[in-house]
């Protein structure tokens, strides 16, 4: 019966988080309010259980067992419209949920593990990149995406794509670090013109993968 969040601003997509102490076996009344200015407004309520050990996810265990019995393992990871979209910025650059734990566990079970990424913005990979022999950056694919990825994985098509972004080793290596997300709805773009590869070149920062990188 207590209000735990109040967001009365015009925005496209925004997440509001709050911590609430709940007792097992008790019922709780949850009240949600929102208003619609224009467009198709909607609200989604989600909840995370406290103390969940993502490293011991049953789904990861099942994937590890399957990978150990396979000649090659393929892990598809990345983002969706629930993580990023027009008018909504991500909270961080990590793979959501337990995807990084899944990649590391599968790669440990099968050294021939290929990671296929589906995403629209850069992801942090340094935590697991050294454990896998191959990564295919698919970005967001259309209706024929599955067939296109299959052609690349089986060697029917020689991949020749080049990165449109500079991918950093650490979150702190990106030029907006320390300024984004700002506060009070205001962000200071202190990096000026030194964005992307210009920032890395100017400051002598070694990226994980440079702008234009791509192997065939």
- What pLDDT does 52 receive? 62
pLDDT digits (tens, 9 = 90+) for 50-73: 766 655 778 899 999 999 999 999
- What pLDDT does 172 receive? 95
B/e letters for 51-65, b = 16+ CB within 10 Å, e = fewer, are: eeeeeebeebeebbe
pTM listed for this prediction:
0.77
User: Interhelix angle for 58-68 vs 99-109, to 10°?
Assistant: 30
Q: Which two tokens stand for residue 89?
A: 């910025």
- What pLDDT does 54 receive? 52
Residue 16's closest CA among 88, 80, 81, 78? 88
- Positive or negative: CA dihedral 93, 49, 108, 159: negative
Low-confidence ranges of the chain (pLDDT < 50): none
User: Contact 179/189 with Cβ under 8 angstroms?
Assistant: yes
Three-class SS of residue 49? Answer: coil
């Amino acid at each position: 019966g207590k209000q735990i969040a109040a967001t009365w601003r015009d925005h496209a997509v925004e997440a509001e988080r709050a911590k609430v102490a709940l007792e097992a076996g008790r019922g709780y009344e949850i009240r949600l309010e929102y208003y619609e200015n224009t467009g198709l407004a909607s609200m989604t309520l989600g909840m995370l259980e406290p103390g969940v050990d993502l490293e011991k996810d049953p789904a990861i265990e099942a994937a590890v067992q399957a990978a150990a019995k396979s000649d090659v393992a393929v892990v598809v990871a990345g983002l969706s419209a629930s993580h990023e979209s027009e008018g909504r910025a991500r909270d961080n650059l990590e793979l959501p949920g337990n995807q990084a734990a899944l990649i590391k566990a599968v790669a440990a079970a099968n050294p021939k593990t290929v990671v296929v990424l589906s995403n629209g913005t850069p992801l942090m990979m340094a935590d697991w990149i050294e454990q896998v022999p191959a990564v295919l950056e698919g970005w967001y694919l259309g209706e024929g995406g599955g067939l296109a990825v299959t052609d690349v994985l089986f060697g029917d098509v020689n991949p020749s794509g080049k990165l449109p972004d500079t991918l950093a080793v650490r979150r702190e290596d990106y030029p907006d670090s320390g300024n984004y997300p700002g506060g009070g709805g205001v962000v200071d773009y202190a990096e000026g013109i030194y964005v992307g590869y210009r920032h890395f070149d100017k400051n002598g920062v070694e990226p994980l993968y440079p702008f234009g990188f791509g192997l065939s």
